Structure 1
Amino acid sequence: MSSFIANASNQNTGNSQATIANNGFFPDINIAAMRDRMRIDSTITTPRLVDAATQAIIHVNQQLSTFKASKVELGFSKLSDVPSETIADESVLTSHYLRAVYSIAKADLIERYKDYDTTASSLDDKKMIEFLSTGPDECRRNAQWAISDLVGRNRSTVELI
């Protein structure tokens, strides 16, 4: 059984250097990088972001448990060891994994903040409105697409008419 360890130096700012240690196979999650990539400012406190990211890691890791087992059986001890194309000095597989985790975490945060009062006019409220402009369904779709891309499964979108 693996454990997740959140180590945050300043838990109330967006500049925190929090890192969530993953299970050894999948990469650790850097909270500052997540904030940058997903446009999450300090309106969302670091403890809330760490909680959402931890839950997202658990969810994505469960979805990828068969994938992980097959790669470990082939002798790969980390996702970054699995042969993959590299773009911008990052493994494509690692990029897909991070996108899945970040997207699930953001979907969770959006759902938790959906009752936020968007009628006020302060700068923080404008930032929150921008944050909430992405729907949680879009984030979950992006996560599922990233997982599908990671395992080499075709994407599919089904819509009931």
Structure 2
Amino acid sequence: MSSFVPSTNLDTSNSIVPNDGFFPDIELDDVRKRTGLSDVFTNDRIVAATQDAIMEVNAVLADWVDDQDAATLADVPAKSYGETSEKTHWYLTAVCHRVRSMMVETTRDYDSTKSGRDRADALEATSDRWMQSSNEAVARLMGRKRTTVDLI
């Protein structure tokens, strides 16, 4: 009797995705912890999504950064919770939740049955929710009021 045991040889090292100097670098372990991404997703794939998320969030925050009298996000006055400032917390949340949205959005089931379409629709709603959470974190980082608008 023989058996086949698949091996993925995943790289589980804690890679660090460098940032622009103002915002903190992002650790993959932190991304996985904040988003619940399992080792089904390779580090290479998460690094690529994290780089995209960093660039997108940084672009949204560019004007806000220009208005700050600080060299780094850690230097921007903010309340601290433990060792993390409120601003850093919201930034990491914005990036990590955007990563999760991208990962969910690009992970589709190839099943074309009705149940497969239903799962894909559920994933799309989940992806939208993670993106909404990312956008809310950006707004909180910039000190904007939180507003919800529904189209009728």
If the TM-score is normalised by the length of the shorter chain, which range does it land in?
Answer: 0.7 to 0.9
Note the C-alpha offset of 1:16: 1.8
Match of 1:63 among 60, 65, 80: 60
Matches within 5 A, 1:8-157: 12-13=10-11, 15-71=12-68, 74=69, 76-115=70-109, 135-157=126-148
Structure 1 runs (4+) deviating above 4 angstroms are: none
Note the C-alpha offset of 1:114: 2.5
Over the matched positions of the two proteins, sequence identity in percent amounts to 34
CA separation of 1:134 and 1:94: change in aligned 2, threshold 3 A: farther
- The separation in 2 between residues aligned to 1:135 and 1:81, in whole angstroms, is 34
Cα offsets for 1:6-32 (capped at 9, x unmatched): xxxxx933x321001100000100001
Note the C-alpha offset of 1:40: 0.7
Contact in 2 for aligned 1:12/1:47 (Cα 8 Å):
no
Which amino acid is the alignment partner of residue 35 of structure 2?
M
* Larger Rg computed on CA atoms: 2
The TM-score with structure 1 as length reference comes to 0.78
- The separation in 2 between residues aligned to 1:81 and 1:134, in whole angstroms, is 36
**C-alpha RMSD over aligned residues:** 2.1
Cα offsets for 1:95-137 (capped at 9, x unmatched): 00000000111101101003266x9xxxxxxxxxxxx597011
Query: What is the count of residue pairs matched by the alignment?
Result: 135
